[in-house]
Structure 1
């Protein structure tokens, strides 16, 4: 049923885009290049509702490639007890065409008070259709974790360090 509604929405939007592409040049009182403008306007109008998704996915991918790294201090092997430092609420990043939040994950050495392991996780909530109109069917937004974060968890035995920190 959802698939039929989705297809119906696409057909309706194609009809609307076709009619708008024919009428917009007339509303603007264009006298020259009317047919060319109508021809070029149609694909622009068809893509317009998902343009922020397309641009936003590209921006999100570049952000993940550029910013998503694991920071591990040189003296991590000296840590005996650790605790997770909860960041307040995820920070909304501006200047992106879609809503993206940054969540800081940090672990502190209880004995020294130093942050020895940290990284950022980015959450992409999507653009107009996926986020604002609720068309995301998967539930949770796509997230970007650093490559190797899980391997670092295992390498430094973080679960055991946190358990030791909770015990004492």
Structure 2
């Protein structure tokens, strides 16, 4: 026969032990991470501190999401164990994804712009060009995107005649509000003048052909 005192220590959800991580175990993990931040800050440097800080914030959000998700069924009076599990998993997944929705959607839009609108547009007069100069327009925000995406237009002109011989787009973004934090103020960039662009060799060949320089000609 089971010991009543031991039985009382079992989870209150009829064997559905969902609140372990949301209780003292989760808090101990966060406390340990916080202590590690203090040690790293004192012994290493800023970069290590920032990295561990991101880890601490991430762990805290995971703990908070699980705490809320695991307690919500009880708070709203759901007694069926199956529905408790379903609601807990659904709410937890929702809380884990929602902070990154803008980043996920926005980066897909950014990738589409990179794939479809960063090609090198070349005009017929390029065959007569001996010297070229490249200038870039000011950045403008692209409309209808989930995250701020900037576009600037680079124009390549004949240095002797001033005629435009080529043009291409340059896109950049810092990502979403939360998803972009690991960039630490940096940017995702995409244009044909970057070595990682699939058509970079086309730009490189043009640059070599017309002895390309940058900025306004003197």
**Deviation for aligned residue 1:112:** 4.6
Write out aligned runs for 1:97-108 (5 A): 97-108=146-157
Structure 2 gaps of 5+ residues are: 1-48, 193-197
Give the secondary structure class of the aligned counterpart of 2:217: helix
Q: Which has the higher contact order (CA 8 A, sep 6+)?
A: 1
1:112-133 deviation line (CA, Å, top 9, x unaligned) = 54311110011021101255xx
Who is 1:148 aligned against? 199
> In the superposition, relative to structure 1, how do residues 156 and 84 fare at CA in structure 2: closer, same or farther (>3 Å)?
closer
> In the superposition, relative to structure 1, how do residues 30 and 112 fare at CA in structure 2: closer, same or farther (>3 Å)?
farther
- Structure showing greater Rg: 2
2-side partners of 1:119 and 1:153: how far apart?
13
Who is 1:121 aligned against? 170
Write out aligned runs for 1:1-168 (5 A): 1-22=49-70, 33-87=83-137, 89-131=138-180, 134-137=181-184, 139-146=185-192, 147-149=198-200, 151-157=202-208, 160=211, 162=213, 166=217
Q: Contact 2:100 / 2:179 at 8 angstroms: preserved in 1?
A: no
2-side partners of 1:35 and 1:161: how far apart?
63
**Deviation for aligned residue 1:141:** 0.6
Q: Contact 1:108 / 1:114 at 8 angstroms: preserved in 2?
A: yes
> In the superposition, relative to structure 1, how do residues 41 and 118 fare at CA in structure 2: closer, same or farther (>3 Å)?
same
Give the secondary structure class of the aligned counterpart of 2:106: helix
Give the secondary structure class of the aligned counterpart of 2:127: helix
> In the superposition, relative to structure 1, how do residues 30 and 60 fare at CA in structure 2: closer, same or farther (>3 Å)?
farther
Aligned Cα root-mean-square deviation (Å)? 3.0
2-side partners of 1:65 and 1:150: how far apart?
16
> In the superposition, relative to structure 1, how do residues 56 and 26 fare at CA in structure 2: closer, same or farther (>3 Å)?
farther
Task: State TM-score, norm by structure 2.
Answer: 0.61
Q: Contact 2:129 / 2:210 at 8 angstroms: preserved in 1?
A: no
**Number of paired residues?**
162
